[in-house]
Structure 1
């Protein structure tokens, strides 16, 4: 007999509810959120269990602890789970019990759990992105402090440019420049690793046929998308990225608003960045024509978002069919 386990995971502990196939609660108990805690849980349940936990910030550690030790681990979509259970009083016990019950009944709204290799690449790419964002922040601080001093010339980060900045003898600028230089080394190292990974990955090489999409962005798109066969169709991809317009409908009236932003923020960010790069590097493709037509009516950022949505659909078909980018669509 298979038992069903719902886990409500916190930083230092997790609360487990174990149910049998009839829905009777066998165990409700808290355990330390470490290897010994999972050992204690499985000592009581055995390995013939299915486990459900919400896709919270700490899900990967828990997932990796359990995925090779139990029958199956499933990720629950937090917002969809909340809608189904309609919990007004949320406690650890109720949350874990709801997950176990949904799992037992086959009603668990699942979120996709990437395989180990994809999780490894995602972590590396997201770490690189975070370091680049931080470095850009320090560069912006340098420009802001130069403006405060009445210096509005273009800033260069070549060796000569950095020396000119140092010669200004402004403490804040020297501090920020130290941070920029400290971040350069890990960014360069990770970038080289990412390039090797991309050139060894068939899916990434395929997406690199899109003008403007280099090895970093191609690998970002493939790892954030995962296996495209899990999508029912191309329109699910931009929805997964949260880059589709929000819609309110009442009777015959339908109003479209800004994008939902409910989904994979890294995929959404990559899609918009790739749209900008494609517009800069491609002379005449169906995507650039769409971009310029929309930019003339609205603005370049709106056009980039909409083009990013189309680019994701193009990436879906390229990966599904194993085809290179077709400039005319």
Structure 2
């Protein structure tokens, strides 16, 4: 008699691959079906209940939410730690879904954190702002290229005051087309930034992080949205590891050797941390700036700035843990 069912679901842009397994490891069902919520409902309506594991990917959120609404116990697998999938000698999608089901059945599934819906919405808002700014930069670069091609030099600082006024008086068709797009992007960016700022002002954790010189409301919210709950991390070391700013370690023959940082976690959040570290050391005389200055003389700026970002991460940990603003003296 089968008491439990364990389903591994491999999610792709076009299709799902699913394997349903019983308590004893017997494969009860394997199927490939199109990627749509209707197909998910259809497949799982025959399963009844049980546990489902799917790997974190760009498409996981609507599937996860739909399965939870259907009453399934859903687990999100950590893609970097589900090594059994990557290590399969014969890598197929069905074998991947089988591996997920097997790990789930054995209780060995390495789970990824699933943030609340409001945090997921915040993360999407932050990503949207980044995407819009990157698009605007692309069109600004196109305009700069048009000016260079025509050997036109304008007075003043690009994209400010007189410089922009001169640009608009040129009457160059490509430039005018790009400016229409940039104005539209400016409007959307202003709207999104207003939403982020309003949420930051209502978020105590973001306000604490913003008390660090070098952090804006946007960078503070980016870091907060990644952490969510400081209670998820037992110590500062775990938070630093989560952001990928700790050195990798190789151990051989009883000796430890430290290498480059692990670069685990969200690469964008790590870049934000390092950018804020640069801003901090250039605009503050804090203990972190002193640490950077000492280390750069021995190790160079690239190593020192990552170490400074790690120091900032430790500071953020204790600030959130103790609900205190940043203290430049340490």
What is the TM-score of this pair, normalised by structure 1? 0.90
Larger displacement relative to structure 2 (312-321 or 246-255): 246-255
Per the alignment, residue 322 of structure 1 pairs with 323
| Partner Cα distance (2:9, 2:211) in 1 | 43
Distance of aligned partners of 1:292 and 1:141 in 2 relative to their CA distance in 1, 3 Å threshold: farther
Counterpart pick for 2:190 among 177, 188, 191: 188
| Residue 221 (structure 1) aligned with residue 223 (structure 2) | yes
* Structure 1 residue runs without a partner (length 5+): none
Counterpart pick for 1:211 among 203, 210, 213: 213
Per the alignment, residue 292 of structure 1 pairs with 293
2:143–2:178 CA contact under 8 A, matched in 1: yes
| Partner Cα distance (2:152, 2:169) in 1 | 16
Deviation of the 1:296 alpha carbon: 4.3
Deviation of the 1:194 alpha carbon: 0.5
**Where in structure 1 do 4 or more consecutive aligned residues deviate above 6 Å?**
none
Per the alignment, residue 8 of structure 2 pairs with 6
| Partner Cα distance (2:86, 2:299) in 1 | 42
| Partner Cα distance (1:292, 1:150) in 2 | 41
Deviation of the 1:310 alpha carbon: 1.4
Larger displacement relative to structure 2 (34-43 or 192-201): 34-43
Distance of aligned partners of 1:187 and 1:298 in 2 relative to their CA distance in 1, 3 Å threshold: farther
Query: CA RMSD, aligned part only?
Result: 2.3
Q: Deviation per CA, 1:15-52, whole angstroms, max 9, x where unpaired?
A: 11111222222221123321211211221111x31110
Per the alignment, residue 115 of structure 1 pairs with 116
Larger displacement relative to structure 2 (270-279 or 248-257): 248-257
| Residue 178 (structure 1) aligned with residue 193 (structure 2) | no
Larger displacement relative to structure 2 (107-116 or 302-311): 302-311
Deviation of the 1:150 alpha carbon: 6.2
Aligned residue pairs total 327
| Partner Cα distance (1:54, 1:212) in 2 | 35
| Partner Cα distance (2:31, 2:286) in 1 | 59
1:7–1:96 CA contact under 8 A, matched in 2: yes
**Any idea what SS the aligned residue of 1:79 has?**
coil
**Any idea what SS the aligned residue of 1:27 has?**
strand
| Partner Cα distance (1:161, 1:248) in 2 | 53
Q: Deviation per CA, 1:59-78, whole angstroms, max 9, x where unpaired?
A: 11211222232342111122
Per the alignment, residue 57 of structure 2 pairs with 56
Larger displacement relative to structure 2 (199-208 or 189-198): 199-208
**Any idea what SS the aligned residue of 1:57 has?**
coil
| Partner Cα distance (2:247, 2:173) in 1 | 46
Per the alignment, residue 93 of structure 2 pairs with 92
**Any idea what SS the aligned residue of 2:317 has?**
helix
Deviation of the 1:244 alpha carbon: 2.3
* Structure 2 residue runs without a partner (length 5+): none
